[in-house]
Amino acid sequence: MQPKADNVTLKTTKKVRALPTPSSRPALVIFDCDGVLVDSEPIFLRVLHRFLLFAGASLSHADCCRQFIGKSKADVEIYLEEQGLAIPADWPDAFYDQAMIELGRDCKAVDGIREVLQALAQSGIPFCAASNGLRDKIEFTLSHTGLLPLFENRIFSAYEVGRSKPAPDVFLHAASLHGIAPERCTVIEDSPSGLEAAQAAGMPCFAYSDTDALPPGRLFGAQPFSAMWQLPALLGL
């Protein structure tokens, strides 16, 4: 669950472009952060589930995960309003305070991601992180897992750019600052909102999931894979 830059969404009437198929080495690899670089989504979601139960919601942990993975602060608020529940006065500060405590205690790098980043560096292919999250949270989790030095000056937050995923803004911003056309970038994502954003940006995308959390109908044209050790070969390294 991530804070949202604003309440603007993609127009549903807009014709969706076909997603380019990864066919050669990318000129830039754009990683989502939560669930791709760091294993933080389960931590956020368990804290969120406790918060929603405290607010009076009635949903299982599994339902919370399905509904809110990759989603935003605004999505949580909309859910509470639709359920006829009041938004607690200490939202979102109390939630983020507790989430940061548990991230500091439990967050780890995704298994195999260091080797992927090393392979990209050795191949001379630039990479960056583009997330819906607040910059402070992105930097905290990357620092806690020892990945931050690899992403110095290469972190992009949708909160600072414009619309959150599933809008493509943060991906297009990252590509623009690198001077690389969208179709020459490749996105690594793990949530339907991120996959939809990659499709809207016209960027090839690989969908990472070590579970069955991404059914075929929610891949938005992305190519799925289940373990980070597979990614270097998929990227043509």
pLDDT value of position 216: 78
pLDDT in tens, 197-219: 999 999 999 999 877 667 778 89
> d(Cα 9, Cα 76) in Å, to the nearest integer?
15
What are the structural domain ranges in the chain? 28-39+108-234, 41-106
- As a whole number, mean pLDDT of residues 181-190 equals 97
pLDDT bracket for residue 6 (50, 70, 90): very low
Q: Look up tokens 């297009």; give the residue.
A: 172
Common-topology check for domains 28-39+108-234 and 41-106: no
- DSSP states along 1-38: -B--S-S----TTSPPPPPPPP-S--SEEEE-SBTTTB
> d(Cα 26, Cα 138) in Å, to the nearest integer?
24
> d(Cα 51, Cα 162) in Å, to the nearest integer?
27
> Which is higher by pLDDT, 64 or 134?
64
pLDDT in tens, 111-167: 999 999 999 999 999 999 999 988 999 999 999 999 999 999 999 999 899 899 999
Confirm or reject CATH 1.10.150 for domain 41-106, answering yes or no.
yes
Q: Which of 24, 4, 18 is nearest to 166 (CA)?
A: 4
> d(Cα 114, Cα 90) in Å, to the nearest integer?
37
pLDDT value of position 116: 98
Q: What is the pTM of this model?
A: 0.85
pLDDT in tens, 84-103: 999 999 999 999 999 999 99
Query: Topology of domain 28-39+108-234, per CATH?
Result: Rossmann fold (3.40.50)
Bond preceding residue 192 cis, omega within 30 of 0: no
pLDDT value of position 19: 52
> d(Cα 187, Cα 130) in Å, to the nearest integer?
9
Instruction: Tell me the percentage of the chain whose pLDDT exceeds 90.
Output: 76
pLDDT value of position 8: 33
122 Cβ neighbours under 8 A, 6+ residues apart: none
Instruction: Tell me the percentage of the chain whose pLDDT exceeds 70.
Output: 89
Kind and range of the H or E element at 225? strand 223-225
Indicate if the pLDDT at residue 7 is higher than 70. Answer: no
Indicate if the pLDDT at residue 3 is higher than 80. Answer: no
- Average pLDDT over all residues of the chain: 89
